[in-house]
A and B are shown apart, each in its own frame.
Chain A
Amino acid sequence: DVKVTQSSRYLVKRTGEKVFLECVQDMDHENMFWYRQDPGLGLRLIYFSYDVKMKEKGDIPEGYSVSREKKERFSLILESASTNQTSMYLCASISGRSTYHEQFFGPGTRLTVL
């Protein structure tokens, strides 16, 4: 059974804190993605990675950074959390560089920044 896991389902942090969101997939997928999802705005791509140590900016990378040191793990970092980063964060992975394949999502992390 294929799996994408995220380190936390719910997280509460304070403004200015550094926040790490971890994502691990066990499918040996090359491509991994971080999205945020907000009511009325849908899924928005923050960053993605095609391979270890590679990263590409998505549509809304400001205020975020990522790390891909191992193939199975893709981390999203909020350097200094702000209240407008309160959101649902979803990680996803897909095999190969082709976009013909199904994208698998993790369960999501609901982050609240106070």
Chain B
Amino acid sequence: GQNIDQPTEMTATEGAIVQINCTYQTSGFNGLFWYQQHAGEAPTFLSYNVLDGLEEKGRFSSFLSRSKGYSYLLLKELQMKDSASYLCAYSGNTPLVFGKGTRLSVIA
């Protein structure tokens, strides 16, 4: 079965902050990717964490704890255009392993 897990759906209000969690279990772990995917489109790269800690990139930040097998994506000042699916994926000794994605709906 799949050893990477993230919530299926989340809803948040425009202007708010939302945190999307991702847990994984694997050996040979290199790093953790986050991708954004709008409906009907291909995934696009958001972030990549190798070391523990928080990496900030504008309104988006990503956190990694290697010891806990845990990551989150933090989206601040939510905008309607942030409505999309967010995929976490870990890299290791094999091709990227993706979670099933979290569908985020931003409401007014």
What is the interface of chain A, defined by CB distance below 8 A to chain B? 31, 33, 40-43, 45, 48, 58, 90, 99-100, 102-108, 110
Contact = CB atoms under 8 A, between A and B. Distances in A.
A42 B99 CA distance: 7
A48 B50 CA distance: 24
Given A105-B42, A107-B42, A99 B92 contact: yes
A42 B48 CA distance: 19
Question: Which applies to chain B's interface (DSSP): helix, strand, loop or mixed?
Answer: loop
Nearest to A107: B42
Contacts of A40: 8, 100
10 contacts: A42-B101, A48-B95, A99-B95, A100-B50, A100-B91, A102-B33, A102-B48, A105-B42, A105-B43, A107-B41
Interface string B36-70: 00001111110010100000000000000000000
Contacts of A108: 40-42
Contacts of A45: 95
B98 interface: yes
B87 interface: yes
Given A42-B98, A105-B43, 4 more contacts: A31-B95, A43-B43, A90-B43, A107-B41
